[in-house]
Amino acid sequence: MRTIPDLTTNYLGLRLKNPLIAGASPLCRDLDQARRLEDAGIAALVPSSLFQEEIEHELSAHNHFEQLGAHSYAEALSYAPGLNYTPGRPQEYANLIATLKAAVEVPVIGSLNGSTLGGWIDYAKLIEQAGADALELNIYVVATDPQQSGADLERRYIDILSAVKATVSIPVALKLAPYFSSLAHFAREVDRRGVDGLILFNRFYQPDIDLEQLQVVADLVPSASHEMRLPLRWIAILDPLVDASLAATTGIYAPEDVLKLVMVGADAVMLCAVLFREGPAAVTRILEGMRTWMHDHEYEGVHQMQGSMNHCCCSDPAAFERANYLRALHSFA
């Protein structure tokens, strides 16, 4: 009789039935989709983020349009009905979290996306109160200001993290960009300040050019499988360095991708593009593939392989470092 490998894992202090999480995307907004993902075996859900820009823009847009043309002309002292206005998006997001919590049994992780300190952080509390099991904090900065140093930016991450940690008691994970001068150092810094998890990496919208209109256009290109290698390297490096949970995102399509990431130290992986492409069936396929591989290779469970090939535990640590580059060049040659 074949033993079924144990896929359970611990992420942000949450016990998950397997490492597969539906990453922040509009998929989880739809209750039917969420239920189908759960039925397919997903271990946790992250509905797409509540954005700082969204909240602040909503407030300032309302303010702007309420004032537009007001008190200028005797017959029309305003052009919009005077409503006692509160931004609806945060409450809508909180309602979504509450609805998801009622609809599924797996953990639901809220996601808050921003780039600077501000009142929007208060909405973390709203997400917690709605029943979220944890919070993913997505700090999204494209560092274009030449006056701002890397240290300044790191300080900003830490300040936002500290503000959110002070606001909520649920676990808080930080979703990072890959563009840090010294990611290991920074990861240790946030780890020391109590971050419960790190998600590697944030995927930026990359601009394109419309040649006909001579305009810059922005759209989201789904990640490709090879992009998984970047988080793979960094999870391997960070796993021995931090206590926080580690999750990988970007380019995860196959059971093998998950296994590799778990082996370098990931506690969980975020699926996104693959769910858009295949739907919930992808979850079943990946889980089945993982089980088969683990069974074939006689692994008892995920816990056994977790971190087994990280920077410390692997046989060739240099492979995660610059040497890797030289070796790759030689093999290409």
CB-nearer residue toward other proteins: 70 or 143: 70
CB-nearer residue toward other proteins: 181 or 215: 215
**Least distance (Å) between residue 93 CB and other proteins:** 10
**Least distance (Å) between residue 277 CB and other proteins:** 22
Q: E-strand spans in 48-105?
A: 50-51
Q: 216: which strand partners? A: 209
Residue 317 contacts residue 311 (beta carbons within 8 Å): yes
Closest to 234 (Cα-Cα) out of 191, 187, 293: 187
> Could you give the CA distance from residue 96 to residue 327 in angstroms, rounded to a whole number?
49
Tokens representing 244?
Answer: 């926080």
**Least distance (Å) between residue 65 CB and other proteins:** 4
Burial of 9 (0-12, 13-18, 19+ CB in 10 A): buried
Distances (CA, A) of 98 to 42, 64, 80, 191: 18, 32, 32, 29
Residue 190: which residues within 8 A CB-CB, separation 6 or more? 157, 158, 161, 174, 198, 244
Binding residues (CB under 8 A) for other proteins: these are 55-56, 58-63, 65, 67-89, 92, 118-119, 214-215
The structure tokens 């208060």 sit at 122
CB-nearer residue toward other proteins: 73 or 325: 73
CB-nearer residue toward other proteins: 86 or 181: 86
Tokens representing 26?
Answer: 């509009």
> Could you give the CA distance from residue 172 to residue 135 in angstroms, rounded to a whole number?
5
Q: Give the rounded distance of the alpha carbon of 284 from its chain centre.
A: 21
CB-nearer residue toward other proteins: 3 or 215: 215
**Least distance (Å) between residue 21 CB and other proteins:** 26
CB-nearer residue toward other proteins: 13 or 69: 69
Closest to 253 (Cα-Cα) out of 289, 295, 204, 220: 289
**Least distance (Å) between residue 295 CB and other proteins:** 46
**Least distance (Å) between residue 262 CB and other proteins:** 38
CB-nearer residue toward other proteins: 95 or 149: 95
Closest to 234 (Cα-Cα) out of 156, 157, 163, 324: 324
CB-nearer residue toward other proteins: 51 or 320: 51
**Least distance (Å) between residue 141 CB and other proteins:** 17
**Least distance (Å) between residue 110 CB and other proteins:** 17
